[in-house]
Amino acid sequence: MVANLARLEHHGSSKAPTLHPGELTAEILCDFEDACINYFNRNKRKIDDADQTSAILGELLDFRIRDWITCDRAAIEVLSFQAFMQKLREQFLDKDWAGTLHTEILHCRQKNNKTFAEYSIRAIKKNTVLKRSNAGLEPLRLIQVLEAGIANTLVARIHSNHDKLEAAKKPEVLKEKGIHPWLQSMKRIDEQQRADFASFQLYAARARADARGGQALGEPSRHGNTNSVNAVMKDVPQRPASADRVAPLTVAERALLRAHDGCFKCREFYAGHRREACPNPWPNPATYRTLTENDMLAAKRGRSHSAPPASRSKPAPVAVVASSSRMQIDDDDDDENQPAHPVAAVMGIRRISYSCSPSVGALYKSDDDDRSSVCPTVPLTSDPSVVAAVSPVQADPFCEPHLLWQCAVDGPLVNDPIPLQALIDSGSHTVLIWEPLAHQLGLRLRNLPQPERVELAMAAEGKKVTVSLYQYVKLSVSHPSFRWKSCTVRAIVTPGLCTDLILGLPFLVRNGIVIDHAARSIVPKDCSFNILDPAPVLPVPVPKPRLREQFKEIVSHHTSALTELRDKTASIRARLDSLPPGRPEAHVAAVLERVEVLAAQQRLTKLGQDMVSKNKDVFEPIPHAEVLPDDVWCRIQLKEAHKQIVTRTYASPRKYKEAWTTLIQEHLEAGQIQPLNSAHASPAFLIPKADPTALPRWVNDYRMLNDNTVPDAHPLPRVDDILADCGKGKIWSKMDMTNSFFQTRVHPKDVHKTAVSTPLGLYEWLVMPMGLRNAPAIHQRRVTAALRKFIGRFCHVYLDDIVIWSNSVEEHAQHVQMILDAL
């Protein structure tokens, strides 16, 4: 908790820095040490090295530190300042603080929204703190750690600057200048990357502004959240006004006119017409001023006083097709040469006589060359999880959810099919595809025989709005599991489409699809595959061979094995017969070697027996729990302190009744458990051991308690490191600490959390039981502290197992005795 951390207060060079009470960390002590050194160097009154420690003792205000100083003031005041800081860290920091800080450095990662300078400073600061324990990373190792955590956006640029970065990592450069040349190179690469990205964003903003300029349907709804859509493009430069023409509209002016039904030509709010049908002249450049929100409010007030009540409210237009530079918008209603077709997910109230468009009819008339067969196949893998885009909802009297299908579409420019969401719309007379998606897939754009004119679902200002489309592509869609693939259909390219793909009547007809709207199922006629909710794939049952065939197979395998064995033994016998007869001296040497091995083994066995008899106190049974040391406790810190752990008790076989009685009695006599009446209860059960004559093993099921326990991050040693060190020796010994977990007492405040239910009642553990989440970490920390000065030199400890290696018998005896003395 940050609120409880100790606080450092600086007073300049005239007074020593003050460390206020709170939790101490390695970073805080490092800052305090640097502040004290700065005070010593800059103070006008020269402070001798012998007086530095006593000069800052009064500024340590934490009562724990003051008590520690009071108890041993005479010894502390004579320490040098560096020795005092080292002793302060050993007394008040976690014993493994250096290892924890080392792990944090290795796990540092650069976030995408952070610069490389911020990321490197954070890692270097931690390494500076780690150097106070003489365990800091060397320059080359620190560079490797920083490279491992660099953001993915910098990887490509690092490869292009490989030679320059490698030159900064040469030993002579690191020895003379440290990692600063490498850091400067990386900062320049990061700044260049961010500058290029900013230029790309500005270019994209300008491209969007140019594409939307003057196109009414290319923008979002005029009655919705349009004010903030183009806010990112306010800085796009505009063309200056000429002497005879008004300056182009700014992005803010366009957004304001679009939101309030304005005209881009006469630039009047609530004009009731668009630029193409504007009867008014262009504004006078000499008198024109930039439109503001005050102009809009004035126009709105004038409109409210003059407009009839019926004109003050109108329905919002609902359309799925918006325009871009490839679209032609027509507002007149007198074109009778070609019928316009409403295309929308929400159709208007008006009753319209639908007829087939000549261009679309010709488009789908001759498709025999492009028909691809429907291929319902059974995949080898299990059926993937396919979720419909619209979850079932309660019935609504006015609307029902759309039929949205999560499908996959392939194209020449993509390596794998792209997952997307398609709208199944039986009210659409054609198939429509969003223009950017067609470009992303790399589909070939073809020109329609005639421009296809579609009508928006709802009229704008009482007039029909039609849009002309000119191009189409060929595509087929698949189920995400690839168990079904559609025929090839032609989709008209539509800019500004409300969804990625609208699968209309041509798709449904060509694939023979039957839609059940009530059951929300879409099933092709030639297979029973519901593409919205497919049935799981059942595995094909493997027929069991007959008994006669099984016997034949067994006899065949037996015959093959015998034949192979005869051939192998014959080749070995032939090779042995071809060898010259051995000399008698070789047999004597082999016998002598075997005698030496047996003698050495006997010597080691006797040495082990003497070692056990000499250190009887180490091999005695664990003493009563009350006499165990209390310098280390097993603590159980809960995430939710008020959560009770109560689970059902497991059924126990009758054959384990006597074993339960024996085990509980042994633990009671050793003071390891005690009966109680607690609100917590975790189940316990017995499992048999490999030795049938031994008592079964008591197992505690603390899964619910472990889920609510704050984890202890103390690391366990790596097995490959242990094996690598053991390879240094010639003689090895292994010790197994019996019931080692029971040598650590549970803190009295946490004893009730260890309660377990047994067939003979409820008991709580007074010593650390096996099964707790943090039990391995607590025990590893304790044995590591006991054998710290020997680990890596000639021993390793992993939980309750100790391995010792040596190069000679005499050296091995000394090593084993040192381990036993430490335990």
**Could you read off the pLDDT of 285-330 as tens digits, one per residue?**
888 888 887 888 888 777 654 444 433 333 333 344 443 333 444 4
Q: 244: which 2 tokens?
A: 């005879």
What H or E segment, with its residue span, contains residue 599? helix 584-614
CA distances from 268 to 282, 291, 313, 634, 669 (A): 11, 10, 19, 78, 96
Q: Are 17 and 32 in contact (CB under 8 A)?
A: yes
- Does pLDDT of 391 surpass 50? no
Helix axes 139-148, 116-130, angle to 10 degrees: 140
Residue 70 — pLDDT band, cuts 50, 70, 90? Answer: confident
Residue 348 — pLDDT band, cuts 50, 70, 90? Answer: very low
Q: Are 467 and 217 in contact (CB under 8 A)?
A: yes
Place of tokens 């004010």: 227
Helices (H) and strands (E) in the chain, counts: 25, 24
Residue 253 — pLDDT band, cuts 50, 70, 90? Answer: confident
Q: Are 733 and 801 in contact (CB under 8 A)?
A: no
What H or E segment, with its residue span, contains residue 821? helix 809-822
Same topology for domains 404-524 and 625-821, yes or no?
Answer: no
- Residue 387 has what pLDDT? 35
Distance (Å, whole) CA 365 – CA 362: 5
SS3 for 346? coil
Those residues whose C-beta lies under 8 Å from the C-beta of residue 329, and which sit 6 or more positions away, are: 216, 217, 276, 323, 465, 466, 467, 468
Q: Are 256 and 299 in contact (CB under 8 A)?
A: no
- Does pLDDT of 442 surpass 70? yes
The number of angstroms, rounded, from the C-alpha of 407 to the middle of its chain's C-alpha atoms is: 26
Distance (Å, whole) CA 431 – CA 448: 13
Q: Say what percent of the chain tops pLDDT 70.
A: 82
- Residue 463 has what pLDDT? 67
Residues facing residue 709 across a β-bridge: 638
Nearest to 649 by CA among 562, 762, 507, 569: 762
Distance (Å, whole) CA 29 – CA 97: 12
Q: Are 630 and 745 in contact (CB under 8 A)?
A: yes
- Does pLDDT of 255 surpass 50? yes
- The type of residue at 250 is T
Residue 156 — pLDDT band, cuts 50, 70, 90? Answer: confident
- Residue 382 has what pLDDT? 35
CATH superfamily of 404-524: Acid Proteases (2.40.70.10)
- Report the mean per-residue pLDDT for the chain: 78
Residue 324: left if φ>0, alpha if ψ -120 to 50, beta else—which one?
beta
Buried b (16+ CB within 10 A) or exposed e, 781-810: bbbbeebeebbeebbbbebbebbbbbeeee
pLDDT, one tens digit per residue, over 672-693 is 898 987 778 899 999 888 888 8
SS3 for 698? strand
Among 81-95, 162-176, 263-277, 343-357, the range scoring the smallest mean pLDDT is 343-357
Residue ranges in 455-517 assigned as alpha helix (H)? 505-510
- Residue 345 has what pLDDT? 43
Please report how many Cα atoms fall inside a 13 Å half-sphere around the Cα of residue 774, on the Cβ side. Answer: 21
Q: Are 704 and 773 in contact (CB under 8 A)?
A: no
Residue 375 — pLDDT band, cuts 50, 70, 90? Answer: very low
pLDDT, one tens digit per residue, over 750-786 is 888 889 999 888 899 999 998 898 899 998 888 888 8
Among 476-490, 512-526, 598-612, the range scoring the smallest mean pLDDT is 598-612
Please report how many Cα atoms fall inside a 13 Å half-sphere around the Cα of residue 775, on the Cβ side. Answer: 22
Per-residue pLDDT, averaged over 527-550, amounts to 81
- Does pLDDT of 213 surpass 80? no
- Residue 390 has what pLDDT? 37
Q: 163: which 2 tokens?
A: 């030679």
- Does pLDDT of 239 surpass 80? no
CB atoms within 10 A of CB 285: 13
Q: Are 786 and 822 in contact (CB under 8 A)?
A: yes
Q: Are 769 and 654 in contact (CB under 8 A)?
A: no
Q: Give the CA angle between residues 231, 237, 243 to the nearest 5°.
A: 125
> Domain 625-821 classified CATH 3.10.10.10?
yes
DSSP state at residue 23: B
Domain boundaries, the chain: 7-191, 404-524, 625-821
